[in-house]
Chains A and B, each alone.
Chain A
């Protein structure tokens, strides 16, 4: 079953702008991960944030986690056309090892 719900479902921006995607989940988690998918094929891991962490950075990516609200956000700064993809959040629930995915956000970055 889907645990994460991404918001928005689709996002269209211009190159250079920032893109923010949100994810909500329902149960307690061990960690939350963000993935990118191009053309409906393999998932590329972007960043992992653990339940005891509040914010993490990786290059142009910034992820926040609010366990009290059961939500996370992914910020991509200074977006590029190459960032066009679908972005998924996925949680590892406490006591489990498998990922539960949200439905994803489709990001379109126009030159």
Chain B
């Protein structure tokens, strides 16, 4: 079946602009995760959705970052007023329970 998909693959934006990153998880997976990978910080957890529960936002680095998951499926990660330090690869993953997490190909964000 189809894996996790993310769009866009690459995004170049100017400092101060808002960006939206999209994730389509594997059908039937109840959990969805966003991670960020940057040179300085490695792979970091950002936010986690499980079913209809309130999301775990403990990894979001600032209030400029937000995410939503509509209908228990597609998720959008929004970064407002982007800064150069937001440049990274943003990875989405989904899973059934706390077992194996399946990752998408990522969105490479470059803030100029």
Q: Give A contacts to B, CB under 8 Å.
A: 2, 30-31, 33, 35, 40-45, 48, 88, 90, 92, 97-104
Kindly state whether residue B70 has any CB partner on chain A within 8 Å.
no
Q: Which chain B residues lie closer than 8 Å to A92 at the CB level?
A: 98
Secondary structure class of chain B's binding surface, majority of residues: strand
Q: Which chain A residues lie closer than 8 Å to B105 at the CB level?
A: 41-42
Q: List 19 interface pairs A-B (beta carbons < 8 Å), by A numbering.
A: A31-B99, A40-B89, A41-B89, A41-B106, A42-B103, A42-B104, A43-B91, A44-B103, A45-B102, A45-B103, A48-B100, A88-B43, A97-B50, A97-B56, A98-B45, A99-B35, A99-B45, A100-B45, A103-B42
Q: Which chain A residues lie closer than 8 Å to B106 at the CB level?
A: 41-42
Kindly state whether residue B65 has any CB partner on chain A within 8 Å.
no
In whole angstroms, how far apart are the Cα atoms of A103 and B40 in the complex? Answer: 10
Q: Which chain A residues lie closer than 8 Å to B31 at the CB level?
A: 97
The interface size bin for chain B is 20 to 34
Q: Please give me the residue from chain A that is nearest to B105 by CB atom.
A: A42
* Complex contact A104–B42 (CB within 8 A): yes
Secondary structure class of chain A's binding surface, majority of residues: strand
Q: Which chain B residues lie closer than 8 Å to A43 at the CB level?
A: 91, 93, 103
Kindly state whether residue B7 has any CB partner on chain A within 8 Å.
no
Q: Which chain A residues lie closer than 8 Å to B48 at the CB level?
A: 97-98
* Complex contact B100–A45 (CB within 8 A): yes
* Complex contact B101–A45 (CB within 8 A): yes
In whole angstroms, how far apart are the Cα atoms of A31 and B89 in the complex? Answer: 25
Q: Which chain A residues lie closer than 8 Å to B45 at the CB level?
A: 98-100
Q: Please give me the residue from chain A that is nearest to B34 by CB atom.
A: A98
Q: Which chain B residues lie closer than 8 Å to A104 at the CB level?
A: 42
Q: Please give me the residue from chain A that is nearest to B41 by CB atom.
A: A2
* Complex contact A30–B98 (CB within 8 A): yes
Q: Please give me the residue from chain A that is nearest to B58 by CB atom.
A: A98
- In the assembled complex, the CB of B19 is this many whole angstroms from the nearest CB of chain A, namely 18
